[in-house]
Amino acid sequence: MRLKDRVAIVTGGARGIGAAYARGLAREGAAVAAVDILDPASLVKEITTNDGKAIPMVADVADESQTREMARKVAETFGRIDILINNAAFFASIDRKPFEEITVEEWDKVMAVNVRGSFLCAKAVAPYMKAQKRGKIVNVASGTFFKGNENFLHYVSSKGAVIAMTRCLARELGPYHINVNAIAPGFTMSEALLEKGENADAQTIRSRILKRRINPEDLVGTILYLSSSDSDMMTGQVLLVDGGAAFH
Ligand X SMILES: NC(=O)c1ccc[n+]([C@@H]2O[C@H](COP(=O)([O-])OP(=O)(O)OC[C@H]3O[C@@H](n4cnc5c(N)ncnc54)[C@H](O)[C@@H]3O)[C@@H](O)[C@H]2O)c1
- Dihedral of CA 115/119/124/126: which sign? positive
Binding mask 90-119 for ligand X (x = CB under 6 A): xxx--------------------x---x--
Q: Which is nearer to ligand X, 188 or 228 (CB)?
A: 188
State in angstroms the smallest separation of the CB of 66 from ligand X: 8
Q: Looking at residues 196 to 235 of the shown chain, list those that interact with ligand X (rule: CB under 6 A).
A: none
φ, ψ of residue 71 in degrees (nearest 5)? -65, -40
Phi-psi region at 33: left, alpha or beta (left = phi > 0; alpha = psi -120 to 50): beta
One DSSP character per residue, the chain reads: -TTTT-EEEEET-SSHHHHHHHHHHHHTT-EEEEEESS--HHHHHHHHHTT-EEEEEE--TT-HHHHHHHHHHHHHHHS---EEEE---S-TTPPP--GGG--HHHHHHHHIIIIIHHHHHHHHHHHHHHHHT-EEEEEE--THHHHT-TT-HHHHHHHHHHHHHHHHHHHHHGGGTEEEEEEEE-SB--HHHHHTT----HHHHHTSSS-S-B-THHHHHHHHHHHSGGGTT--S-EEEESSSS---
Any contact of residue 87 with ligand X (CB under 6 A)?
yes
Residue type for position 191: E
State in angstroms the smallest separation of the CB of 141 from ligand X: 7
Mark the segment that binds ligand X (CB under 6 A) among 15-23, 47-55, 167-175, 220-228.
15-23
State in angstroms the smallest separation of the CB of 133 from ligand X: 28
Mark the segment that binds ligand X (CB under 6 A) among 8-16, 45-53, 119-127, 146-154.
8-16
φ, ψ of residue 181 in degrees (nearest 5)? -135, 175
Among 3, 17, 26, 81, binds ligand X (CB under 6 A): 17
State in angstroms the smallest separation of the CB of 167 from ligand X: 18
Mark the segment that binds ligand X (CB under 6 A) among 73-81, 122-130, 135-143, 226-234.
135-143
Among 60, 110, 231, 243, binds ligand X (CB under 6 A): 60
Any contact of residue 188 with ligand X (CB under 6 A)?
yes
Is 128 assigned a catalytic role?
no
Residue with smallest beta-carbon separation from ligand X: 12
Residue type for position 30: A
The site for ligand X, by CB under 6 A, has a size of: 30
Among 24, 52, 56, 185, binds ligand X (CB under 6 A): 185
Any contact of residue 37 with ligand X (CB under 6 A)?
yes
The residues binding ligand X (CB under 6 A) are 11-12, 14-18, 36-38, 60-62, 87-92, 113, 117, 140, 142-143, 185, 187-188, 190, 192-193
Enumerate the active-site residues.
155
